[in-house]
Structure 1
Amino acid sequence: MSTPTYAAEKQVAIAAVRRACVLTASVFNKLVKQETMTKEDASPVTVGDYAAQAVVNTILGRTFPKDPVVGEEDAADLRQESGKTLRERIVQLASETLAAPLAEGEKEEWGLGPNQAQTSEQLLDAIDRGNYEGGRTGRFWTLDPIDGTKGFLRGEQYAVCLALVVDSRPELGVIGCPNLPVSAADPAGPRGCIFVAVRGQGAYQLALDSPFSAPATRLTIPPSTSETLNFLESVEKAHAKLSFNERVGQVLGITRAPTRMDSQAKYCALARGDGGAYLRMPTGVGYKEKIWDHAAGLILVEEAGGVITDGRGEPLDFGLGRTLGENFGVVAAGKDVHERVIAAIKQAKAEEDVAAQANGSIFKLPPELVRMIFEHFADEQHQFWLVWISTICKALMPEVEAALYRTVAVSSCKNATRLCRALVKRPYRALAVRSLVVYITGGASIKQPLKSALPLLTSLKRLELTVDDPSIFPLLLDAPFRLRTLLTGGYYYPDCVEDILASQPSLQRFSLMFTPRREEPLDLEHARTILRPDILPNLRSLTGWVARFPLTLIKHPYPIVHLALVGATRRDITHAISLFGNTLVTLILIRLIDEQSPPECYWPTYMFRHAHLPKLEYFMVADRYDEHADLPLERETMVIPGLREICPALKTIVWGADGTVIDDLQWDFDGMTSRGWAMTVYARMLFDAIPALERVSIYDDEVAASREVMGEVFTRAEDRTVKGPESASISLDEDMWTLRPET
């Protein structure tokens, strides 16, 4: 079955909207206060409303007589004797508009042109033709003859909105905006536009005075950033919860002031890029949006490349009658920001819910203080107490859960799925999450649950994601959170890592720990991570498995303060020091020593040769010898000239030596045994060369089974003398322990 083009409907709708725009503009110029009535919903209705509806419905009745219309107005008041004066004025205006000479693209059989004046009864019947109640199936039109009546009365923005709905989905929309500038860049320039969209055919802006002959402009919503994004909002406070919008903007980091205008002109502005997102949240319980307020705008935004849903992210339902039923507000935005806006709305709503419940707390304390108390008791020792108290007092459940969900870790697909469902079910839980660890073998089954949960984690600051399925990682590209720490890992390197980093400009710590199951050549075409100097302006800590990501791929000297590397070769270390040496404070290495390593590599400080590490304070290294490596114990290779100048601030050295090296260090350089003699010579050489040095620790890394290991320790006393070696406990750095292949 071929897709309908709706060519005839489009032409008729444009002509009808143009005639209605001409009428309403004329009415405004002649408007007198006595011609304004008031409906029960307190929105003003002008003579233009009735006359425009009469004109449009007359045209639709002639061209598509079987199509019903869902309209805003009815003629009940006009049929009363009290409405005689207004009725006569409406009949006169509508008849004059219908009888005006045919314009380009119009046809006489549509009821237009000279001698097409209608009787009073015909026009009242045309107005009442808008009494259709809507429905799930079939086709009907929606009409708002003057959307934004207060804007109309002020001489500001209003719109004539007409849409064709087929089987509860808008297929055609036409919006006339007599007062909207033709170009947003020239607000004082020409005014008057018609916007039209047909499903599958794009969205266009036409000239109001010549919609069929003047060139049409194709509309596409441009991408937005936090700096360029702003909200399109209603002027009237009764139409939108502006304070809520302000909080949503804060969550999104929006700095631009909102653009406020009446009517569906906001949809038109969005479609042509005059604003970043249209936000209309309900102002009270029980309010239901009218379908004529959004049908034409929906198809226009979608055809311009945008997304429109309610505030929960659910599609708008035009099959429930004259309203959108249970849809919660309306959100329209470009595809690049819509999910972020929805996530921000959920966060703001969750904050409202938590605040509302906290206000009724039995403690009568500020909600922030209650939350701080519970967070203090959120450790493993007191978690049972928190759960118990929440079962006793249900009102405290949000605060308790906010504390318990602050740090979350899952290590199975089953638990990850449960977690995601829990976050989606109660978004305030997601709002509480600051740190999330997902460490899973496999991971394909959690892709969809994560896709639903990640947009809710707007407060997340630390994410550790280790999964075998690389298709999980692209989910981070559109996530709303702004991470400070991102630890990634698995068996397969995803090709979107650089794009993920580009989406996280606040990132301060990054770890790349992809470890192959077998020897696999690295696809350098995809391993482009952090090559560009502009994507990580705040990066200070970098951890990586060098076998999967050679450091030589990094070209930019980021101001790295903390660097931890696994499987680093001499070339990798030299490259890293040349890039980051000026800023490094902590350097942690698991070195790879093979048969090609020169004898000097025996000593960990060899890599400082020709380096410049003015700020380095902590240096920790663990050696990994392959089966062919056999480096000799030599005094000549121990000394590094200029250590005082190379690392003047170095305070701590921790050396996790290979077992055979530990045995060597028990001897002197002539092969005579003396407890720790070679070790002592090396340590004292370091203390003599580096005045700031306070501690040198050496341990057997092959037998290290925990973060606390026994080893030989040398220290500098207050009188500057060196003490040691002494057997003592050595605390391994967190990175050194977690980076060990065995763990």
Structure 2
Amino acid sequence: MSYAKELEIACLAVQRAARLTKTILASVDKGALDKQDNTPVTIADFAAQALIISAIHHVFPADQFVGEESSGALRENPQLLDRVWEVVSTTKLEDVDGEEKRIVLATPSSPDEMLDLIDLGGKGAGGSEGRIWVLDPVDGTATFIKGQQYAVCLALLEDGQQKVGVLGCPNLKLESDDLQRTRVQEDVVDSAGAGQVLYAVLGQGAYIQPLSNTTRLLEDQRQRLPTRQPTDPSDVRFVDCAYADSTDYNKHGLVAKALGAPWPATADLWSSQMRYVALAVGECNTLIKIVRQQDHRSSIWDHAGGMLIAQEVGCTITDVRGDSVSCGQGRKLAGAYGLVVAPAPVHARVLEAVKEVIQRS
């Protein structure tokens, strides 16, 4: 199955949501509030989730959803609800003169419908059966608020396996056409353009092309992302986040030392999904996650889509025990303990170094 229709609607839905986030980013007050986990949530989170689910649900009404956000905060705060509805009801992609639309993106018809659509994702259970769309409307809200890197994320699971992955990166700036090495840093921002979108279909490679503010996908400007195949462990280049509470950054440094690889990490990014982007475009090639608490399990929306893109550029993905990682076990990566993402030729050596560091601690 080619998944051509799924990819097209996913890319357009992400493109519209990315435009929404970029518009809100330009405003002074982003309507930030705190969730229980103290992560800043913005109007962009709620509005982007509503628009993405509306577009997908209209075309594939039998499909299920898993999304990060639920509508509780909006139902309890009429003022915030009004602000989100205003953004949702007015955000549109510009039509291209003389070009017939292949897909019309649906929009919620009322605030009540918007709330129900948000909850299709927020109350979605996930699992290993059927077709499930996984989304994170704004991955990296803390850096989004600062005007740094974030991603609009969407993936399709079919019977628990990732089939389509789309990551919209509104602030990602390509400084050249050389995809062997593209910088991905928090402050290297596409302030003049609309950013980039990365996408993959299982077994069909991974691609990057500019985002647009129109109903056209800029497929004529797409580039296939090359595979990453370093063979020497000293050529490992890490992407990490020094401020992540869930991971042990010091142990990550010990792994780098064991491999003879540079440390600190080549790129330090808050957004989990942007770390996969850094792997895909060649800024880095390896991502590990040694967790501080043994019972910690990541949410699937922090990885679905990005994992698929990383696999399509030649990465092998396991947990720190060497077991496979599945997004088909609910809302969490329930069976995965930590993470090791590395190019296939060096993955075994990186995994060995991770195990050695854990055993010594």
**Common fold, TM-score beyond 0.5?**
yes
Aligned length: 341
Whichever residue aligns with residue 78 of structure 2, its letter is K
2:270 is the counterpart of 1:262 = yes
2:347 is the counterpart of 1:342 = no
Quote the offset at 1:313 in angstroms.
Answer: 1.6
The 1:86–1:320 alpha-carbon spacing in structure 2 relative to 1, beyond 3 Å, is same
Q: Distance in 1 between matches of 2:112 and 2:168?
A: 27
Superposed, 1:177-192 pairs within 5 Å as: 177-183=169-175, 185=182, 190=190, 192=195
Please, which of 34, 38, 56 is the counterpart of residue 38 of structure 1?
A: 34
Quote the offset at 1:326 in angstroms.
Answer: 3.1
Q: 2:110 matched to which residue of 1? A: 119
Q: 1:402 matched to which residue of 2? A: none
Identity %, equivalent residues: 34
Whichever residue aligns with residue 3 of structure 2, its letter is Y
Q: Is the 8 Å Cα contact of residues 227 and 312 (structure 2) preserved in structure 1? A: no
Q: Distance in 1 between matches of 2:189 and 2:10?
A: 26
Q: Distance in 1 between matches of 2:331 and 2:182?
A: 37
Q: TM-score, normalised by structure 2?
A: 0.89
2:153 is the counterpart of 1:150 = no
Please, which of 15, 19, 28 is the counterpart of residue 16 of structure 2?
A: 19
Superposed, 1:89-168 pairs within 5 Å as: 89-97=83-91, 99-102=92-95, 107=102, 109-111=104-106, 118-130=109-121, 131-168=123-160
CA deviation digits over 1:154-206, x for unaligned, max 9?
Answer: 21111011000011110100001111122455775856110000011110011
Quote the offset at 1:303 in angstroms.
Answer: 1.1
Quote the offset at 1:32 in angstroms.
Answer: 1.4
Please, which of 49, 54, 70 is the counterpart of residue 66 of structure 2?
A: 70
CA deviation digits over 1:8-67, x for unaligned, max 9?
Answer: 00000000011111111111111416x112112221111110010011011011111111
CA deviation digits over 1:441-486, x for unaligned, max 9?
Answer: xxxxxxxxxxxxxxxxxxxxxxxxxxxxxxxxxxxxxxxxxxxxxx
Whichever residue aligns with residue 219 of structure 1, its letter is L
Q: Distance in 2 between matches of 1:133 and 1:144?
A: 15
Q: Distance in 1 between matches of 2:108 and 2:67?
A: 22
Whichever residue aligns with residue 50 of structure 2, its letter is A
Q: 2:291 matched to which residue of 1? A: 282
CA deviation digits over 1:249-296, x for unaligned, max 9?
Answer: 111111253111122111112012110201222232321111111110
Superposed, 1:703-722 pairs within 5 Å as: none
Whichever residue aligns with residue 217 of structure 2, its letter is P
Q: 1:205 matched to which residue of 2? A: 208
Q: Is the 8 Å Cα contact of residues 307 and 335 (structure 1) preserved in structure 2? A: yes
Q: 1:88 matched to which residue of 2? A: 82
2:220 is the counterpart of 1:214 = yes
2:172 is the counterpart of 1:176 = no
Q: Is the 8 Å Cα contact of residues 135 and 321 (structure 1) preserved in structure 2? A: yes
Q: Is the 8 Å Cα contact of residues 207 and 214 (structure 1) preserved in structure 2? A: no
Q: 2:239 matched to which residue of 1? A: 232
Task: Give the 3-state SS of the residue equivalent to 1:243 in structure 2.
Answer: helix
Q: Is the 8 Å Cα contact of residues 182 and 281 (structure 2) preserved in structure 1? A: no
Q: Is the 8 Å Cα contact of residues 47 and 84 (structure 2) preserved in structure 1? A: yes
Whichever residue aligns with residue 78 of structure 1, its letter is L
Quote the offset at 1:219 in angstroms.
Answer: 1.0
Quote the offset at 1:101 in angstroms.
Answer: 3.3
CA deviation digits over 1:674-701, x for unaligned, max 9?
Answer: xxxxxxxxxxxxxxxxxxxxxxxxxxxx
Quote the offset at 1:118 in angstroms.
Answer: 2.6
The 1:102–1:311 alpha-carbon spacing in structure 2 relative to 1, beyond 3 Å, is farther
Q: Distance in 1 between matches of 2:53 and 2:211?
A: 20
Whichever residue aligns with residue 110 of structure 1, its letter is L
Q: 2:196 matched to which residue of 1? A: 193
Task: Give the 3-state SS of the residue equivalent to 1:129 in structure 2.
Answer: helix
Task: Give the 3-state SS of the residue equivalent to 2:75 in structure 1.
Answer: coil
Quote the offset at 1:297 in angstroms.
Answer: 0.9
Quote the offset at 1:106 in angstroms.
Answer: 5.1
Whichever residue aligns with residue 246 of structure 1, its letter is G
Quote the offset at 1:110 in angstroms.
Answer: 3.0
Q: Distance in 1 between matches of 2:226 and 2:290?
A: 25
Q: Is the 8 Å Cα contact of residues 47 and 88 (structure 2) preserved in structure 1? A: yes
The range that moved more, 166-175 or 333-342, is: 333-342
Q: Is the 8 Å Cα contact of residues 225 and 280 (structure 2) preserved in structure 1? A: yes
Q: 1:584 matched to which residue of 2? A: none
Q: Distance in 1 between matches of 2:248 and 2:217?
A: 36
Q: Distance in 2 between matches of 1:296 and 1:344?
A: 27
Please, which of 251, 255, 258 is the counterpart of residue 258 of structure 2?
A: 251
Q: Is the 8 Å Cα contact of residues 221 and 273 (structure 1) preserved in structure 2? A: no
Superposed, 1:303-314 pairs within 5 Å as: 303-314=312-323
Superposed, 1:529-548 pairs within 5 Å as: none
Quote the offset at 1:86 in angstroms.
Answer: 1.0
Q: Is the 8 Å Cα contact of residues 221 and 270 (structure 1) preserved in structure 2? A: no
Q: Is the 8 Å Cα contact of residues 15 and 106 (structure 1) preserved in structure 2? A: no
List gaps (5 residues or longer) in structure 2.
176-180
Whichever residue aligns with residue 85 of structure 2, its letter is V
Q: Is the 8 Å Cα contact of residues 159 and 178 (structure 1) preserved in structure 2? A: yes
Quote the offset at 1:117 in angstroms.
Answer: 6.3
Quote the offset at 1:320 in angstroms.
Answer: 1.3
Q: Distance in 1 between matches of 2:227 and 2:42?
A: 33
The 1:185–1:273 alpha-carbon spacing in structure 2 relative to 1, beyond 3 Å, is closer
Q: 2:178 matched to which residue of 1? A: none
Q: Distance in 2 between matches of 1:157 and 1:106?
A: 31
Quote the offset at 1:235 in angstroms.
Answer: 4.8
CA deviation digits over 1:652-711, x for unaligned, max 9?
Answer: xxxxxxxxxxxxxxxxxxxxxxxxxxxxxxxxxxxxxxxxxxxxxxxxxxxxxxxxxxxx
Quote the offset at 1:335 in angstroms.
Answer: 0.9
Q: 1:351 matched to which residue of 2? A: 360
Task: Give the 3-state SS of the residue equivalent to 1:171 in structure 2.
Answer: strand
CA deviation digits over 1:618-644, x for unaligned, max 9?
Answer: xxxxxxxxxxxxxxxxxxxxxxxxxxx
Task: Give the 3-state SS of the residue equivalent to 1:180 in structure 2.
Answer: coil
List gaps (5 residues or longer) in structure 1.
353-743
Quote the offset at 1:107 in angstroms.
Answer: 4.3
Whichever residue aligns with residue 146 of structure 2, its letter is R
Which is greater in Rg?
Answer: 1
Q: Distance in 2 between matches of 1:235 and 1:351?
A: 21
Superposed, 1:635-646 pairs within 5 Å as: none
Superposed, 1:286-305 pairs within 5 Å as: 286-305=295-314
Q: Is the 8 Å Cα contact of residues 211 and 218 (structure 2) preserved in structure 1? A: no
Task: Give the 3-state SS of the residue equivalent to 1:172 in structure 2.
Answer: strand
Task: Give the 3-state SS of the residue equivalent to 1:110 in structure 2.
Answer: coil
Q: Distance in 2 between matches of 1:239 and 1:94?
A: 33
Q: Distance in 1 between matches of 2:41 and 2:242?
A: 17
Task: Give the 3-state SS of the residue equivalent to 2:89 in structure 1.
Answer: helix
Whichever residue aligns with residue 345 of structure 1, its letter is V
Whichever residue aligns with residue 339 of structure 1, its letter is A
Quote the offset at 1:126 in angstroms.
Answer: 1.2
Superposed, 1:242-641 pairs within 5 Å as: 242-258=249-265, 259-263=267-271, 264-352=273-361
